C-alpha cells in the first residue's frame, strides 16, 4: 500500500513475492526511516487460522510511525492486510502446534532525495514466512551477556519504537555476547548502566516464588505484546504481578539469597525462554539451578494454549483470519 503526501494511503495490491527495485537515492537507504512489526498466525483446532492481538501490533506500528515522522496506517487497514495475505497463503500455515505463519509488516520511505527531512512518499508492505517451533528438542535456557559498554536506547531516543536503527545499533553488542560464549544481550539503562531494560528481541520477567516482576516501561525499552499479555495471564493464574525497576545488583543479590527463583524472556518469536546464566565484566552467575523453572513453563503453556486455541480466549485476544 502506498502513501503520498496530500493523497494518503492508496493502491493496495496483493502481488507475488519479488525483489523491490529502489533508486540509489531512496531516502530510507540513507536516513533509515523504517519501522516494522512481527506477529504469528496459528492454526486452530477447527482448521481455521487466527492471529494473536493484531490490534496491539497495529497500534504499536502507529506509535513507531509517529516517532519516526512517518504516516500512521489505520488499524483496520493493518489487520485487513493480514487477513488478505493469510487467506492467500493459508496453505503455508502449519497444521498444528507451536509452528506458525510469521507475518512481517513494515514501512519504508520511497521518496528520492539527499536532504535530511521526513519523506513525502512511503510504502507499507506485508510479507509472511512459515516459522517452526522455536525450540526443537525441548526448551533450552539461554545464557546472557550484560552489555555495560553499549546501550540500545536512551531517554528521548527511539527505544520504544520498532525501527531498524535500534537493531543496527545492537549488532556490535550481540557479537560481543557471542564472543563471550553467550546467546543473547541484556541491555541496561543508558544513564546509570544499572537498571535492567530488556533483551535483544525479548522482554524480561523475574520470578520470586509466586511474585513476578517485569522491568517497567522506561520509555527506552520496547513495549512487548507478549510482556503485556503475561501481566494478565500471570494474574489470572494467581501470581502477584508487578512492573518495577530491577538493578544488576538486585538481580545478583536475590539470586544469591535464593529469593529469585526464575528469570525468563518473552516475545513473539520464542514465546517464553528461560534465562539460565548471566555473564558480565564484573560477575558471572547461574540463575537459580540453571534449569527451566516451573512458573516459566506454566506461563509458556498457558500462553501457547490460548494462541493455538487449546484454551478459552477469555480476553478476546484471538483474531480469526479465515479458514
Ligand atoms: N524487545 C525487542 C527489542 C523486540 O524486538 C521484541 C520483539 N518484537 C520484543 C521486545 C518483544 O515484543 P513482542 O512480545 O511484541 O514480540
* Cβ–Cβ < 8 Å for 236, 298: no
38 lines ligand 1 (CB under 6 A): yes
DSSP code for 163 = B
226 lines ligand 1 (CB under 6 A): yes
Nearest Cα to Cα of residue 93 among 150, 42, 152: 42
CA–centroid distance, 114 to ligand 1, in Å, is 32
Question: Residue 323 has what pLDDT?
Answer: 61
Nearest atom of ligand 1 to the alpha carbon of 267: 14
287 lines ligand 1 (CB under 6 A): no
Residues 204-242 pLDDT 10s: 999 999 999 999 999 999 999 999 999 999 999 999 999
Delimit the domains of the chain by residue range.
2-13+21-131, 142-307
Rounded to 10°, the helix 294-307/225-236 angle is 110
268 lines ligand 1 (CB under 6 A): yes
Rounded Cα distance, 143 and 279, in Å? 8
Residues 306-320 pLDDT 10s: 999 999 999 999 999
φ and ψ of 122, to 5 deg = -140, 165
Question: Residue 138 has what pLDDT?
Answer: 79
Question: Residue 132 has what pLDDT?
Answer: 86
φ and ψ of 96, to 5 deg = -170, 175
Above 70 in pLDDT, residue 134? yes
Task: List the residue whose alpha carbon is closest to atom 12 of ligand 1.
Answer: 224
Question: Residue 139 has what pLDDT?
Answer: 87
Residues 6 or more apart in contact with residue 222 via CB below 8 angstroms: 159, 160, 161, 162, 166, 198, 203
The domain 2-13+21-131 is placed in CATH, from the list 3.10.20.600, 3.40.50.720, 3.90.1520.10, 3.30.470.10, at 3.30.470.10
CA–centroid distance, 197 to ligand 1, in Å, is 12
Question: Residue 218 has what pLDDT?
Answer: 93
Average pLDDT of the chain, as a whole number: 96
Rounded Cα distance, 225 and 172, in Å? 26
Test site for ligand 1: of 58, 159, 268, 317, most ligand atoms within 8 A of the Cβ: 268
Tell me what percent of the residues of the chain surpass a pLDDT of 90: 94
Indicate if the alpha-carbon torsion angle 189, 267, 162, 150 is positive or negative.
Answer: positive
Task: List the residue whose alpha carbon is closest to atom 2 of ligand 1.
Answer: 201
Residues 281-313 pLDDT 10s: 999 999 999 999 999 999 999 999 999 999 999
Reported as type and span, the H/E element at residue 253 is helix 248-256
CA–centroid distance, 222 to ligand 1, in Å, is 6
225 lines ligand 1 (CB under 6 A): yes
Rounded Cα distance, 51 and 321, in Å? 7
Report strand pairing: 2-4 vs 8-10. Answer: antiparallel
Test site for ligand 1: of 106, 158, 163, 202, most ligand atoms within 8 A of the Cβ: 202
- Per-residue pLDDT, averaged over 85-103, amounts to 92
Architecture of domain 142-307: Alpha-Beta Barrel (3.20)
* Cβ–Cβ < 8 Å for 81, 1: yes
Report strand pairing: 39-43 vs 284-286. Answer: unpaired
Nearest Cα to Cα of residue 89 among 107, 105, 101: 101
215 lines ligand 1 (CB under 6 A): no
Cell of 262: 526464575
Question: Residue 263 has what pLDDT?
Answer: 98
pLDDT confidence band for 97 (50 / 70 / 90): confident
Above 80 in pLDDT, residue 8? yes
pLDDT confidence band for 135 (50 / 70 / 90): confident
- Per-residue pLDDT, averaged over 166-172, amounts to 96
Residues 9-41 pLDDT 10s: 999 999 999 999 999 999 999 999 999 999 999
Amino acid at each position: 500500500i502506498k502513501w503520498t503526501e496530500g493523497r494518503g494511503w492508496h493502491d493496495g495490491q496483493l502481488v507475488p513475492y519479488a525483489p523491490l527495485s529502489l533508486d540509489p537515492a531512496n531516502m530510507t537507504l540513507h536516513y533509515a526511516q523504517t519501522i516494522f512489526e512481527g506477529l504469528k498466525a496459528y492454526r486452530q483446532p477447527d482448521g481455521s487460522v487466527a492471529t494473536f492481538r493484531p490490534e496491539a501490533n497495529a497500534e504499536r506500528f502507529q506509535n513507531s510511525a509517529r516517532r519516526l515522522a512517518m504516516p500512521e496506517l489505520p488499524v483496520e487497514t493493518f489487520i485487513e492486510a493480514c487477513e488478505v495475505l493469510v487467506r492467500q497463503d493459508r496453505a503455508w500455515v502449519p497444521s498444528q502446534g507451536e509452528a506458525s505463519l510469521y507475518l512481517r509488516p513494515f514501512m519504508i520511505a520511497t521518496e528520492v532525495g539527499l536532504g535530511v527531512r521526513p519523506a513525502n512518499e512511503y510504502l507499507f508492505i506485508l510479507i509472511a514466512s512459515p516459522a517452526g517451533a522455536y525450540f526443537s528438542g525441548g526448551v533450552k535456557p539461554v545464557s546472557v551477556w550484560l552489555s555495560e559498554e553499549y546501550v540500545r536506547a536512551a531517554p528521548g531516543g527511539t527505544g520504544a519504537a520498532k525501527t531498524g536503527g535500534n537493531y543496527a545499533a545492537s549488532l556490535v553488542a550481540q557479537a560481543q555476547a557471542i564472543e563471550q560464549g553467550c546467546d543473547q544481550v541484556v541491555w541496561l539503562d543508558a544513564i546509570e548502566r544499572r537498571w535492567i531494560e530488556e533483551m535483544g528481541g525479548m522482554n524480561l520477567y523475574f520470578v520470586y516464588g509466586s511474585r513476578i516482576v517485569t522491568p517497567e516501561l522506561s520509555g527506552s525499552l520496547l513495549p512487548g505484546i507478549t510482556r503485556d499479555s503475561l501481566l494478565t495471564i500471570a494474574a489470572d493464574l494467581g501470581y502477584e504481578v508487578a512492573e518495577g525497576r530491577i538493578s544488576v545488583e538486585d538481580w545478583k543479590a536475590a539470586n544469591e539469597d535464593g529469593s529469585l527463583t526464575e528469570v525468563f524472556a518473552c516475545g513473539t518469536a520464542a514465546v517464553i525462554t528461560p534465562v539460565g546464566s548471566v555473564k558480565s565484566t564484573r560477575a558471572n552467575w547461574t540463575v537459580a539451578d540453571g534449569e527451566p523453572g516451573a512458573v516459566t513453563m506454566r506461563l509458556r503453556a498457558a500462553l501457547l494454549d490460548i494462541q493455538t486455541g487449546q484454551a478459552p480466549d477469555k480476553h478476546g485476544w484471538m483474531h480469526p483470519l479465515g479458514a
